[in-house]
Structure 1
Amino acid sequence: MPRWLLHCNAKKFDLESFRQDGHVLRSWTIARYVNELAAGDEFVLWMSGTNAGVIAHGRFTGSAAYGQADPDYWAEDPGPRNYVPLEVDEWLDLRVSKGQLATDPRMTSATILRQPFAGNPHRLSNDEWQAMHEAVEISKGNDPDWHLKPGDEIRRVDLHAQYGGSSQNEISPSGSTNNIHIFTAPSPGHRHGYYDAWNEDGTFHYTGEGQTGDQRMLRGNKAILEHRETGKRLRLFEGSRGTVRYLGEWVLAHEQPYSEAEVPTPGGGPLRRVIRFHLVPLKATITTPKVGIGQGYVAPDESISATSATPSAPDPDLMGRNLSTHRRLQNALAEQATKRGLTALSPDVSDPDFDVAWRSAAGQLTVCEVKSLTTANEARQLRAGVGQVLDYQDQLRQRAPEVTAVLWVEREPSERRWVDLCHRAGVILAWPGQEESVFQS
């Protein structure tokens, strides 16, 4: 039985929009072998262009016939042509790339590689069909050249030695294998305004690369966006240095592959725009990181002076007298929590940068932001504290069923409205002398 290859030039026919608008592909224009095509003949559909490759396969449902095309999705009205009726058996989630096929010796004489602009269809030899069939099956299943299983740990230097890619970047496309390695390490990422998020439905929002200014769809970000078209597999790892843990294979969500958000610029300054890729797990992928929340409380030094405080600290609470007061409040609160039989916590490498948290024997978690107050900075500190503790609460809810948010301040605010505002936002606002109400909550 003859096998064929149909090719699509996206500059002439907008197949992507055709499909997105809900149309079902039922026929294809042909210019050659008109009398040789028959019902039952198998075909692959090839997309030409920068990321050329196989995007679907199926079979013809009848002989070719002459007719008029619907010009809606054509760059120019093609006029009357020969059409072959067909049925697509499967649209591939990952494209079988031209580069991948070109390295197969069975494809040496394939006309789609030697004469890519020849008219449809291209006849495939038995060897060429077998090469494409095997590549399609691999794209739909496990890569036989990939040997890590979800949960496996590997030194990053060994990962790149075996599978390629750069050991320096958080997004690391490989030039030697069919993979894009991506690394999530929440705490280091927070220093650059990165906030990766595990969602309750098992999906994962991964923040793109670019530590200064607005992130753009270039380099690693572009590689992730186009991974379906290039046939690259997204391999997610927990950690970014030393030993990393493989979390499995992921793909971009079809309907909304990414969104954009504004985050603070590291070190202070205007907000900047970041890209958040929406990733969906495949097969036995691990969909939650293997991390607890927090580590044993580490008490900061209260004896810091104004001269030793960091001059460029973006938070005015972390300067001179304010920093010393902040640490005293924080340590005293942690001590009170311990006295009540609670487990006081400091953030671990995978946690947001909260000041102190505590866990009850039953596992209930409270996260707390501490703020010193002066007459001059009160409103600014309260605004910042509410935003910070809500952010911590939101992130930790990915790993804890219930998280209470507390904003602990140096003294009672001068305006009662702050207590009411925090109550409406679901934040407990309290100060020294109100320990019982905080810990009972």
Structure 2
Amino acid sequence: MSTPAQLSLELNTDQRRIREFLRERYGTLPEGVTRWELDDRQADAVRARFAHTAQSIDPKRWTLEIGDTVRRREIHSAYGGQEQGGIITPKSIPDVLVVTSPESGARHGYDTHEGLQADGSFLYTGEGQRGPQVFARGNAALRDAARNDRPIRLFTKQGTYVTYVGEFTTGEPAFSIETIPDSDGNPRDGIIFKLVPVQADIEALELSIEIPAASAQTTSWTPPESSSYIVRAPLIPGDRDVSRIEFELQKDFGRWIKDRGETPQRLRLNSAGAVIEPDLYVQESGWVVEAKKSPAREYVRTAIGQVLDYARLARESGRPAVPVILLPSRPVTHLEALLSELGILLAVRESEGFSIIK
């Protein structure tokens, strides 16, 4: 059996045109069937229709669509590129192709950091199984992809087949150097690329690593240490440390909640292959709290996106969820009005505790 995806690679032809031809020749798909699976006669009819077109098209074009599953060798037959390793740099197209495989990657230490992250990015380990990884060949191509205007195409691997997840680009920063084991278990420097989706099915990455789509778990809450620093990725560019001000704000608010006879908790939310966590969850009221060290506009706008995301995931898991933003003082009137319109409660410090503004 053949598919339009496979034939598009073979014939260098858009799948849309292939499907239009199939509908004209054979009618629409039966009810409940979502993808064409062609017998030899149908596949040959497609080849006969588009063979001349394929020969006249130059250069090669990208024809796979998100969710397509094909044999890896079919990609190499269409575009060329390295047949081994996870980073493929075909000469016939500008695209950089990246293959992730949790099973095989674990044998070479690639699973230490690789995977979907809470901010929606995907961390990908560079190539090189032994010794420190360096910026040569595929690693250099992936590092420079955005600067050179090269799309990054991410695939998951299942045996000899690969499934196209979608187009990515490098994030900010594009990479970090982390300690990972090599194939013999020896520690070495590894290049961890940060890839962010342009147009992709992130949930395909979730399914590939068998993480539940949405779940929530509460645990006991303890006040953070006010002398501690960064424990999570930055959410505002350049703001890499969660400041002492924010930790103290969380600690005092948690104590205030306890004095009210309520129970502050930690809430771990699982969605799209990533675990994310608001600063505090109040069991009785369902408050989902995100704290920020400043009422400045950039902090409030960031908190809005976070807390609405947390609250929706909590509700999907069956828990009550009321979004709350915790600040050391009141923001400008416009932002207070915006929070009210969005149904977000505002908690601000007062001399004798905290005030809740609806």
- Compare CA radii of gyration and give the structure with the larger one: 1
With structure 2 as the length reference, what TM-score do the two structures score? 0.50
With structure 1 as the length reference, what TM-score do the two structures score? 0.42
